[in-house]
Structure 1
């Protein structure tokens, strides 16, 4: 009898197949960590990448390799989500290739730190287009598709602990993330009667790229405020980076990892969280509980 049950269970897995997820910005870092966790949870993955990053091809191929190692089919699409029409094009291609959609993860985003007095109109428009407009449009397309196809799916937005705690040089970013936290509550009401759940995950200090990845990239981006040219000149001599210095000052004594965010998402989209919608789950190791600023040069613990 036990053998018969095992055979039936195995056949059921084959019949049901793997679920399908679309993730924006998953060629490296937090997006990659999310994708890998979801692949292990039984999802095939479609994801976007940005070709403007140095050595993006290396990161892209690595992500594909890691996903396939976990048994996932994967599809990758170049997309600049600041461009008009790019979100719709990405969504349509991904759903057409996957055949359906069970989960959308809005992850692609950036903070271009500037104080109020140095903000430009281009800077403002870029952040709004990528961090807010693209999120809303992708949620709209996913919700419309799920409703039309009677799919009780999930939508997850990656926001930030900065949606709750403000920092200097990040006024636009903090405001956008705060807005997304509130939007998720309202949008969750719009689609709840269709069995669709919308939740946010708000990361704190996450080690987005390891020292090894930075060496592969060979260039720090504008947003890599922990970038150190010594990585290229003499990587063996750099024992501690920004995250190594910051980690002990966080209440849980370490910086976060991309898989920490992936694990939070895996919970929120599971049946164990089937009664949860419209929430923002902060995943920050307690970073903002004492109001600690992200400054590894602070003396002592930085929070006590």
Structure 2
């Protein structure tokens, strides 16, 4: 019988890479998407045609109360079971402490932390009730280990997940269920083709440059190209780099691994270098020590 996985935020970026990699390993997959159904539909079609696996897709606003539980029930019903949960859907909103809004704070807590926990709850309970020695994997971030300006909420929530997973892993270890995290560093979540197709960047699109709005010429160097030159292994990450770690941790080859956070960042944070955002501080401005203007 084919194994079955739910991947949140599986229609693009890292989540898409994970969904494709799991399908290649023989999993039937359910993915969630937030707003662009056409992207989820394309992933589903590709998985069906390329790998001959089932791929179901569901809209889910995971920052809303009860949305994760509803998604879980729909996914399990469609798949006919569950062996693996990959919590991936999340968002980065960059605000310094003096500009944080309560609306964004609540949104990030609900999406980047609470939804992860509630889905872990549902998945672990299902696996216990059905005697499934399954696996749960959360996509966190190297930012859970390293602080950056305008990233206090996101960094803090990822750090909380990195710590909490250790306790959660102990909660379910006697049932043969493993819970681990994968912590990406700078990972290309939009191809240049996707950047070119965008009319403008949203507030969370830290990789966006205003020059990308000019469609008269192709996109040359972007955020991930520029940062990649300073990463020890010489490039930014790709979704498949993160997906390979997920495939390993969910496999029998990792059957003696639980409660860890596996950093996959090309050595990004080893030297303590600033990651920065395109057009803001860090590498783009020569370091954090330069005076910042309060807007």
Deviations 1:204-243 (A, max 9, x none): 0000011101233433222221212333323634311111
Residue 50 of structure 1: aligned partner: 34
Q: Is the 8 A contact 2:30 2:55 kept in 1?
A: yes
Residue 182 of structure 2: aligned partner: 201
Residue 128 of structure 1: aligned partner: 109
> Among 34, 39, 46, which residue is 2:18 paired with?
34
Q: Is the 8 A contact 2:196 2:215 kept in 1?
A: no
Q: How many Å apart are 1:145 and its aligned residue? A: 0.2
Where 1:75 maps in the other structure, the secondary structure is strand
RMSD (Å), alpha carbons: 1.5
> Among 88, 110, 120, which residue is 1:139 paired with?
120
Distance change in 2, residues 1:234/1:176 (3 Å): same
Distance change in 2, residues 1:57/1:88 (3 Å): closer
Task: Normalising by structure 1, report the TM-score.
Answer: 0.89
Deviations 1:157-176 (A, max 9, x none): 00000110011101111111
Unaligned runs of 5+ in 1: 1-16
Matches within 5 A, 1:82-121: 82-121=63-102
Q: How many Å apart are 1:299 and its aligned residue? A: 6.3
CA distance in structure 1 between the aligned counterparts of 2:216 and 2:232, rounded to whole angstroms: 29
Matches within 5 A, 1:117-266: 117-234=98-215, 236-266=217-247
Q: How many Å apart are 1:195 and its aligned residue? A: 0.3
Q: How many Å apart are 1:98 and its aligned residue? A: 0.7
Unaligned runs of 5+ in 2: 277-282, 288-295
Residue 293 of structure 2: aligned partner: none
Q: Is the 8 A contact 2:141 2:184 kept in 1?
A: yes
CA distance in structure 2 between the aligned counterparts of 1:184 and 1:269, rounded to whole angstroms: 15
Task: Normalising by structure 2, report the TM-score.
Answer: 0.91
CA distance in structure 2 between the aligned counterparts of 1:232 and 1:174, rounded to whole angstroms: 29
Residue 7 of structure 1: aligned partner: none
Q: How many Å apart are 1:111 and its aligned residue? A: 1.2
